[in-house]
A = this chain, B = another copy of it.
Amino acid sequence: MSNKHVFIEKLRSSGLRPTKQRIEICKLLFDRKDTFHFSISDLKNNLENVSSKKISLATIYNTIHAFTGKGYLKEISINSDKTYFDTNTSDHHHFFDENKKKLIDLNDNDVGKIKIKKILPGKKIKSIEVLVRITNDN
């Protein structure tokens, strides 16, 4: 309700038609204070709870990929059976809790600056990501 119009503008301004499916997904992803991480199946489940009208799985994939392409989401590099997405699109790093299968943000204070000294001719760096795998202590 609150930000529906903001989302419509956001979508329009990036060349995406503001359909009810996309707006519904925007509300779930962006209408909150804190950023978070999710898989497609997480999102699918949330949509089923929150919303009455069903959004097809193909549309969920289409939308998330469109949002990622526009820079509204980040895809996170984990070798897992599922792909994870992040509503925090700033450069930052992650813990991956292997028991809970959950990502946790590491901000820049938590990780020193990463400096890559090796250069490969003809190549440029696209991203630098640190993944810290954690497990239960005992």
Contacts and interface: CB of A to CB of B under 8 A. Distances in A.
A126 B112 contact: no
Given A124-B137, A125-B134, A132-B127, A112 B112 contact: yes
A97 interface: yes
Contact of A79 (B79, B126, B135): B79
A48 to B, nearest CB: 25
Contacts of A77: 77-79, 131, 133
A129 B129 CA distance: 8
Interface in A67-95: 75-80, 83-84, 95
A114 interface: yes
A123 interface: yes
Contact of A123 (B84, B117, B134): B134
A109 interface: yes
A50 interface: no
Nearest to A104: B120
A106 interface: yes
B110 A122 contact: no
A111 interface: yes
A29 to B, nearest CB: 19
B118 A106 contact: yes
Interface of A: 75-80, 83-84, 95, 97-98, 104, 106, 109-118, 120, 122-137
